[in-house]
A and B are shown apart, each in its own frame.
Chain A
Amino acid sequence: MRLRYIEMGWILAVKELLRNRIALIFILLIPSLFFTLIVATTSDRPILFKLASISEATVFEVGERKEALIFMGLATIAFISSFLGLNLVQKHPDVDRRLVLCGYRSSELIISKMGVLFCVICLIGGYVILALLHFLQPKHLVQALLGLILGGYVYGCYGLLAGAIFRRELEGVLSIVLLVNIDAGWLQNPIFYAEAQNKVIIRYLPAYFPSQASMVAIFTDYSMVNSAVGSMGYGTFLLVFALMIYWGRMRLTR
């Protein structure tokens, strides 16, 4: 692994991203839009819910708006990071392969893309947590940020995997819309989860660990370590698959 190659790949991928102004505007606009909609459509009435990573018997009482903001914050990060991951891998595979032909290693290229993705996830995580601070005070701020970043990590890796698997944009976009909507945008909502008939399926979905980590850190004094480790493991599992498929696609015959 050659650091100079990764650094150059990272710098130029950042430049490409910064020149895509419409995408940048959307990245900034989407969290604000989602939060505005929640503030406009929810009330402060208390709701009761359970968290899957804590005892089934423990019930929490939180304002509806606060719960919805956390849930939507995570869904927002999942959406943005997965689309960005998809875009980074799918954008110009032929030119990437030409770079490999000229001497780059496919691992160096994808690591530089991951570096860009990780930076964006951290920035969005910070942006979302700052926005959340207007409405609630998390019990553990740093852990709450970590939970959101882990959500971005897991779904960013899913985006990289989708980009490595699907050669065309439409299939990649649909695979993301389908999973993020169902998972981060619906099933991981603790209000739904508490009453779900089949919780096993929900526990195997990508957003399970990060959503638990965020909720636990924001609303409780319980440890989020297990959820954080689970998130890292899930994301890394997806990432390894993405790397293998990407390597196969970039591989030369000689």
Chain B
Amino acid sequence: MKEDILEVNHLKKCFGRYSVLKDISFRMGSGEMIGIVGENGSGKSTLLKILSGLVRPTKGNFTLRGPIGFCPQELQVFETLTVRENFQFFATAYGIHGWEESKDCLLDRFHFRQYEHRLVSQLSGGTKQKLNLSLALLNSPELFLLDEPYSGFDWETYLRFWDYADDMRSKGKSILIVSHFVYDSARYTKLFELKNGVLK
């Protein structure tokens, strides 16, 4: 029997009196792709921030097995560095030695190799998002936590993203995606809706 890579038990998160997450529980096995959808402000990003370790839950706990790759909803990249330098900085953080190969693979996969030596501040929003996502994929983790990963992508890049996601799943990697909309529900192993602080 496969061991769950992520186990979430009765998570609760309050901001003052406002309870954004009331009781969140789910499990995720290796190779699974789980989607969480919900309206703006429903707490999707908060849930992912809790799972990544950026925000402390008010109650409840969760268990992660293996390294994670986290793609935040907001662009969190160095604007005054080049695309290559961003990869280099994050590869150092991950402790990856052969990072050039992974970087080349991601540049080709998402079609932005031509911008490798450009400052991020000079790139379009979509290309910045490609970098934002790629930095989460660089260390090839066991679990991907992706917050609106394809926002700003054109259709071709959107499809490329799903090709990549399918490849990762075939290698046994797990992917948790939160988004305010879902085009292809068939792609997910499980799809939840986050509403009124609970998963449905």
* Beta-carbon contact of B78 and A12 below 8 Å: yes
Interface flags, B76-100, vs A, CB<8A=1, else 0: 1111110001001110111100000
CA distance in complex: A12, B91 (Å): 13
Which of A33-41, A91-99, A143-151, A231-239 lies at the binding interface? A91-99
Which of A49-57, A70-78, A100-108, A197-205 lies at the binding interface? A100-108
* Beta-carbon contact of B94 and A103 below 8 Å: yes
* Beta-carbon contact of A15 and B85 below 8 Å: yes
Q: Judge whether B56 is part of the interface by a CB distance below 8 angstroms.
A: yes
Q: Judge whether A59 is part of the interface by a CB distance below 8 angstroms.
A: no
Interface flags, B39-80, vs A, CB<8A=1, else 0: 000000000001011111100000010000010101011111
Contact residues in A for B94 (Cβ distance below 8 Å): 102-103
CA distance in complex: A19, B53 (Å): 32
Q: Judge whether A252 is part of the interface by a CB distance below 8 angstroms.
A: yes
Report the count of interface residues on A (CB-CB < 8 A).
23
Q: Judge whether B119 is part of the interface by a CB distance below 8 angstroms.
A: yes
Q: Judge whether B174 is part of the interface by a CB distance below 8 angstroms.
A: no
Contact residues in B for A102 (Cβ distance below 8 Å): 90, 93-94, 135, 139
* Beta-carbon contact of A12 and B89 below 8 Å: yes
Given contacts A8-B88, A254-B53, contact A16 B93 (CB under 8 A): no
State how many angstroms separate the Cβ of A102 from the closest Cβ of chain B.
4
**CB nearest neighbor in A for B141:** A102
**CB nearest neighbor in A for B121:** A19
Interface flags, A60-83, vs B, CB<8A=1, else 0: 000000000000000000000000
Report the count of interface residues on B (CB-CB < 8 A).
28
* Beta-carbon contact of B54 and A95 below 8 Å: no
Contact of B53 among A8, A99, A101 (CB under 8 A): A101
CA distance in complex: A4, B95 (Å): 10
Q: Judge whether A58 is part of the interface by a CB distance below 8 angstroms.
A: no
CA distance in complex: A16, B79 (Å): 9
CA distance in complex: A188, B39 (Å): 58
Contact residues in A for B90 (Cβ distance below 8 Å): 99, 102
State how many angstroms separate the Cβ of A20 from the closest Cβ of chain B.
7
Interchain residue pairs A-B with the least CB separation, the first 9:
A102-B93, A252-B53, A254-B53, A253-B56, A103-B93, A8-B92, A16-B80, A104-B93, A98-B76
Besides A12-B85, A15-B80, 19 new A-B residue pairs in contact (Cβ under 8 A), listed by A number: A4-B92, A5-B92, A8-B88, A8-B89, A12-B81, A16-B78, A16-B80, A94-B74, A94-B76, A95-B76, A98-B135, A101-B70, A102-B93, A102-B94, A102-B139, A103-B93, A103-B95, A253-B50, A254-B64
Chain A to chain B contacts (Cβ below 8 Å), 17 pairs? A15-B81, A15-B85, A16-B78, A16-B80, A19-B80, A94-B72, A94-B74, A97-B54, A98-B70, A98-B72, A98-B135, A101-B52, A102-B135, A103-B93, A103-B94, A103-B95, A253-B56
